[in-house]
Amino acid sequence: MTNGEIVESFVVPVHPHTVLAPEQNEGWGRLRKAYDDAAKIIQDSGADLLIIYSTTWPSIIGHQIISDPNPEWVMVDHDFHELGSIHYSFKIDVEFAEQWNAENKSRGLQSRCVNYHGFPIDVGSVVALTLLNPENKIPAIIVSSNVYADRSETTVLAKACRDLVKRTGRKAVAITAMSLSNRMFTEHIDPKDDRIHSLKDDEWNQKILEFLSEGRLEDVGQLSRTIQRQIRVQKVVNFKPMWWLSAMNDNRNNLTGNVLAYEGIHGAGCAVVNLNPTPSGFGDKEYDEDDVEIFAGERGVLDSNTQQESKIETDDGPALWEPTKAEGSVNTDAAPKPVGAYPHARRVGDLIYLSGVGPRQPGTNEIPGGPIHDNSGKPLNYDIKEQTHAVVNNIARILEEAGSSLDKVLDVTSFLVDMDRDFQGYNEVWAETLGKVGPTRTTLAIRALPTPIAVEMKVIASI
Amino acid sequence: MAQGEIVAGCLAPHPPHLVYAENPEQNEPVAEGGWEQLRWGYERLRDSLKGIEYDAIVILSPHWQTYVGTHFLGLENFQSLSVDPIFPNLFRYHYDMNVDVELAQQIHDKADKAGLTVKMMTNPDFRVDYGTITTGHMFRPQWDKPLVVISSNRSSAYYSVEVMQEMMIELGKATREAILESGKKVVVLASNSLSHRHFTTESDIPEDMSKEHITSHAMHLWDMRIIDYMKSGQCQRIIDEMPEFTEQAIAETDGGAFTWLLSTLEVPNYPAILHGYGTIIGTGNAIVEWPVYKHKEA
Ligand SMILES: [Fe+2]
C-alpha cells in the first residue's frame, strides 16, 4: 500500500504544431516522433496515472486541478489558429484529483478542483495528452501553474502529489508541458525556416539538456531562476516546472535521462525528455534550500484572514510545543506540533518509537472529520473514519521523515474516546491501511485525549 | 460617403466578477452580488452613451494574447461558451456575437501598411476570450452591435513597455484612419484594469465586501494619479509615465489596450468622465469615458 511511485517523468513541448502540422517542418516531425516514442515508453511502464503540470494554464488563487471526469471540447491556439482545431475528450482520475486537492489544503496551499462543462483545457495539456495517451487508456490529472508561486509553493504542491501517489500505490508518470527558451519569432515565418530563436537561447537549452540527459534534474531546478533570467520572456514569474518535476522525483540528481528530441517551434526551444527513476550513478546532491513540507507563505501580500480564523479555533486547545530534540529524536514539519515537551519519534538501533499520533493537520491544526466537541465542550458530530485516515497519514509522514515507512510498522496501541460509537469505523479504516501491513494491535477505550479528537495511535516500527 | 468617426472611447475593464453578479443563474449558487460600485459605474457609462448613435464597437482585450503580431477576429459570427480559465467558478457565459469583418479587415490592412505584423483569425472553432466577452456584456448586454476584436500583442513581455507603446500608438493610428475611411460611427474600448496585483487567496463568499480592498497603498496612489490625468485631460502624461506605471503597479496596461485607446483618440487633452472606480480581488478598475461626441472632430 505504500509502494506507489513515479515510474517515468517527461518534459514535453506545448505548441500545437506536433499534433496538427508535423509534416510541415522536419524538426516538428522529429518532435512528433519523440512524442510517439514517449507514448510507447509510458505504455510499457505499466503506468496507471498521468500527471500534467502545465505552464500554459496560469492560475491566481493557488493551484487548480481538473476534476471533470470527461472534459471535452475543441481547442484552437490563440496564435496558431490557422493550423486547425484539436478535438479533445480526456479521461480524468477524479478521485485522485479530489484527494490531491485535499492534501494541498492540508499543507497550507490554496487549491481548487475545477469541474465545469466547457472549461478550456489549455493548449499544453491538450497537446501532451493527445499525443502521450492517444487512446485515453490511462486516466490523467491536470494541474495549473500559479503565476505568483515561487519555489516553496511549487515544491509543496509536488510533494503533496508525490506522497499521495506513494500512499495510494499508484504508478504515475509526471509530465511538465513547457518550453525551454520561450522566445518566439514575432513575425510570421515559413515553416521551413523555423529554428531556435537565437544562438544564446540555443546554448542555454543545450546546457539544460546536457544536465537532464545526465539525470541531474535537481541541478536544473536549482538553476531555474538563472535560466528564467537568461532565456525566458517574462510571461510568468520564474521557470517553475523544474521545481515541480524535481520535487516529484524526490529532488534527485541521479535519474536516468534521455533527450528524445530537441527542436525549435516558431523560435521557442522545444524538447521531449524522458527521466527514469533508475539511479544513473551521477550521485545525489543535497537540497539547497529549506526542504519545506508545508506552505506557510513566501509573499508579503497574502490576505491572511482565512488563516487567522483557523488559528482562533485552536487557540482554546492546549498550547503547542516545539518538539524536543534529544539524541535519536525525529521531528518533522509534516506532522502536527506536539502538545507537550516530547519529540515526534525517537530512534534506538533499528527501531523507531512514535509519540501518540492524532489526526490534527500539520500547519493548520484542523481536525479532518471535525472536532468531537466545541470550545464550550458541547459535543459535535464527527467522522471517525476521516479522523482515523488522518492519523494513519500523519504516522506515514513521521515514519518517512525517519527513513522508515508505513509497511514497517510492528506494533500499534490505539486509543478511542468512544469505543461503542467508533470502533467499527476505526476498524474499517484499519483494515484498509495498517491491517494490510499486519502489525500487532491493542485497542483501548479512554476517557479523553488532550485535544478534541476521538482517536490516537502509539506506534513502534522498524527502520 | 460621409467620413467615419470615433464617437467615444472608453476604459472598460473585464473582471468576470461583475458578470457573475448579474447572471447568478449561470453561476455558483452562493452568488450574493458584490462589486456594485463597478456595476453602477457601467450603468452610468451605458446611460451616458444612450443617445449616441454608432454602428460598431472596437475592443482590444488583454486576454487574447498573441506573440506573433496582432490578430483580428475575421468571421461574421462567433457563438460558444466562455469559461474563465482562472475564475471558472465565477464566469461561464454563453455568447453569440457578430463581427464587423469589413471594418476588421480595413484596420488589419492599415496596420499591415504601417509595418505591423497582423493576421485575420478565421478558424470557426476559436473561442473568444473572456476579457472581450465580459467587457462586451458590461458595455452593451444586448449584443446588438457588431464588434471588431483585436488581440493583445505581448510586446511588453518580449521587449519593453516602450516598444509596446510604439507599436500600440501605430496600431491606434491605423485603427483611427481605417474608421474615418470606413464612414462608420464607432466606439473604441480598452478592456483592462489599472493596477493589477491580485490577492492570492479567496474568501469563502468570493464577493465578501468586508475583505475587498486594493492590494497596497502604492497601487492606490498610482491608480489615483492616472485617474487624475484622465480627468484633467493630460493623457500625454499617461503615455509618458506608462513604463513606470506598468512596472510598479503591475498594471494590466502591459497588454497595450490603454495606449492603443489613447492613440485612437489622438491622446485627448479634454477631460474624461470617471463613471466608477473599485477594486476586485485587490486589482484597481476604472470605468472611464472620453466623450468625443462633445468635442466634435475637425
Ligand atoms: Fe484581466
The pTM is what? 0.77
What's the rounded Cα separation, in Å, for the pair A322 and B69?
57
**Does A321 touch chain B if contact means CB atoms closer than 8 Å?**
no
Q: What H or E segment, with its residue span, contains residue A202? A: helix A199-213
Q: How far is the CA of B103 from the centre of ligand 1 (A)?
A: 25
A139: left (phi over 0), alpha (psi -120 to 50) or beta: beta
> How does pLDDT run along chain B (298 residues), one tens digit per residue?
689 999 999 999 998 877 765 555 555 545 566 688 898 999 999 999 999 999 999 999 999 999 999 999 999 999 999 998 988 888 888 899 999 999 999 999 999 999 999 999 999 999 999 999 999 999 999 999 999 999 999 888 878 899 999 999 999 999 999 999 999 999 999 999 999 998 888 777 777 788 889 999 999 999 999 999 999 999 999 999 999 999 999 999 999 999 999 999 999 999 999 999 999 989 999 999 999 998 865 4
Centre of ligand 1 to C-alpha A98, Å, is 28
Which residue among B117, B198, B282 sits closest to A187, beta carbon to beta carbon? B117
Measured between alpha carbons, how far is A359 from A368 in angstroms, rounded to an integer?
7
CATH number at residue B93: 3.40.830.10
The interface predicted TM-score of the complex, written ipTM, equals 0.91
* Per-residue pLDDT tens digits for A395-406: 998 998 888 999
Are B211 and A303 within 8 A, CB to CB? yes
Looking at the complex, does the CB of residue A54 fall below 8 Å from at least one CB of chain B?
no
pLDDT digits (tens, 9 = 90+) for A229-263: 887 776 665 689 999 999 999 999 999 999 999 99
Nearest-Cα distance to chain A for B215, in Å, is: 7
Helix (H, G, I), strand (E, B) or coil at A85: coil
Q: Are the beta carbons of A233 and B151 separated by less than 8 Å? A: no
Cell of A289: 534550500
Chain A partners within 8 Å of B210 (Cβ)? none
Residue count of chain A? 463
E strands, A319-383, are 329-330, 345-348, 351-354
CB pair distance less than 8 Å for B119 and A188 = yes
Residues of chain A with CATH 3.30.1330.40: 309-462
Given a cut of 90, whether residue A130 has pLDDT beyond it is: yes
* Domain total in chain B: 1
CA distances from A102 to A3, A110, A164, B146, B263 (A): 21, 10, 10, 45, 49
Q: Decide if B201 and A57 are in contact by the 8 Å CB cutoff.
A: no
B10 and B192 Cβ atoms separated by less than 8 Å: no
User: Within a 10 A sphere around the Cβ of A64, how many other Cβ atoms?
Assistant: 27
Position A302 confidence tier, pLDDT thresholds 50, 70, 90 = very low
Compare A340 and A112 and report the one with higher pLDDT: A112
| Pairwise CB contact (< 8 Å): A301 & B154 | no
pLDDT tens-digit map of A148-189: 888 889 999 999 999 999 999 999 999 999 999 999 999 999
Facing A116 at nearest CB: one of B64, B92, B127? B92
- Report the C-alpha gap between A389 and A158 in whole angstroms: 21
Q: Are A240 and A54 in contact (CB under 8 A)?
A: no
- The model's pLDDT over A390-435, given as tens digits with 9 standing for 90+, comes to 999 999 989 988 889 999 999 999 999 999 999 999 999 999 999 9
Question: Contact A78/B200, CB-based, under 8 Å?
Answer: no
Q: Can you give the pLDDT at residue A211?
A: 94
**CB pair distance less than 8 Å for B71 and A188:** no
- Show which residues on chain B lie within 8 Å of chain A, measured between beta carbons: 64-69, 71, 80-81, 83, 85-89, 92, 117, 119, 121-123, 125-127, 129, 151, 153-155, 157-158, 197-204, 211, 215-216, 281-282
What CA–CA distance (Å, rounded) separates B293 from B291? 5
Helices in chain B by DSSP H: which ranges? 16-22, 36-48, 101-113, 130-139, 155-158, 161-182, 217-231, 235-248, 257-264
User: A198 and chain B: CB distance < 8 Å anywhere?
Assistant: no
Residue with cell 520564474: A238
Contact flag B216-A301 (C-beta cutoff 8 Å): yes
Count of CA atoms in the C-beta half-sphere (13 A) of A263: 26
* CATH class of segment(s) A5-276: alpha beta
Sign of CA dihedral A455, A456, A460, A462: positive
Is 50 exceeded by the pLDDT of residue A314?
no
Question: What pLDDT score was predicted for residue A243?
Answer: 93
Chain A, 102 to 161: residues with Cβ < 8 Å from chain B are: 110, 112, 114, 116-120, 122, 146, 148
Q: A114: nearest CA in chain B?
A: B88
A420 inside 8 A of chain B by CB: no
Query: Where do you find CATH 3.40.830.10 in chain A?
Result: 5-276
**CATH superfamily of the A309-462 domain:** RutC-like (3.30.1330.40)
Q: Taking CB atoms and an 8 Å limit, are A118 and B92 in contact across chains? A: yes
Q: Which phi and psi (to 5°) does residue A103 adopt?
A: -65, -40
Domain, as residue range, for B266: 5-295
Q: Which residues contact B47 (CB under 8 A, 6 or more apart)?
A: none
Q: Contacts of residue A191 in chain B, CB cutoff 8 Å?
A: none
pLDDT at B198: 87
Contacts of A17 in chain B (CB under 8 A): none
